[in-house]
Amino acid sequence: MFWGIGKKRHNQQDLFNAMGSMYSSVLFMGVQNSASVQPVVAVERTVFYRERAAHMYSPLPYALGQVAIELPYIFVQSLIYGVLVYAMIGFEWTAVKFFWYLFFMYFTLAYFTFYGMMSVGLTPNYNVASVASTAFYALWNLFSGFITPRTRIPIWWRWYYWLSPIAWTLNGLVTSQFGDVTEKFDNGVRVSDFVESYFGYHHDFLWVVAVVVVSFALLFAFLFGLSIKLFNFQKR
């Protein structure tokens, strides 16, 4: 007997429900992480300017420390969220699938956090950073592959789908949970075949997706460090 939206696979709508839970949690928690870190980084950057002028701080070690201190908090957040939600949704309790779920949630929250830090580093103040980052949230959301799957996005817009971090996260989450499921819906379509044909997600592509999601986190962290080193928005 099926229980939870993760294990109910009677029809495609059950799969959409499971994906919807992934989509909403990723977007809500990710934006919350990004928005909450911005005012903290903005205030601490002012202190950094003063200490750098006194030759007490060096930009790259400071940026590395800012990035590193976020990692354990993100891990605890991902672990608590993952254990609770994974059980409530009713995904398959296998070590591999649970690992993949935690993996993608951890690095997704990481790249959202580092994106918030980067947006502050590249802009003069917190207000500008908040407005600029919100614009990209909207674009990431629009081309995430949930509202409109990649297979139905006009081909001249698909390039932005590949640039959307959320699209890669949803790809990893859905593929790791459903991309290898051989059970069939009530209409006779196999779950894995539907995931591949409708969303364009390939289970063999999962490792590439994992590398890309990690790369987004590294890229945003690197750009934050670079912005701290190169830009000085302090007004004298």
Alpha-carbon distance of 5 to 223, in angstroms, equals 39
Between 9-18, 33-42, 115-124, 136-145, the lowest mean confidence (pLDDT) is in 9-18
Alpha helix ranges (H) inside 3-58: 12-53
- Rounded to an integer, the average pLDDT of 30-43 is 94
pLDDT band with cut points at 50, 70 and 90 for residue 235: low
Q: Is the pLDDT of residue 3 over 50?
A: no
Mean pLDDT of the chain: 90
Q: How far is CA 84 from CA 49, 70, 89, 93, in A?
A: 41, 22, 9, 13
pLDDT given for residue 9 in this prediction = 58
Q: 183: which residues sit within 8 A by CB, 6+ positions away?
A: 9, 190, 191
* Tokens linked to 87: 């059980």
Chain segment 126-177, per-residue pLDDT in tens: 999 999 999 999 999 999 999 999 999 998 889 999 999 999 999 999 999 9
The model's pLDDT over 170-209, given as tens digits with 9 standing for 90+, comes to 999 999 999 998 888 888 889 999 999 999 999 999 999 9
Name the more confident of 14 and 144: 144
| Cα→Cα distances 133→39, 108, 182, Å | 13, 16, 40
Amino acid at 168: W
Interatomic CA distance for residues 81 and 187, integer angstroms: 34
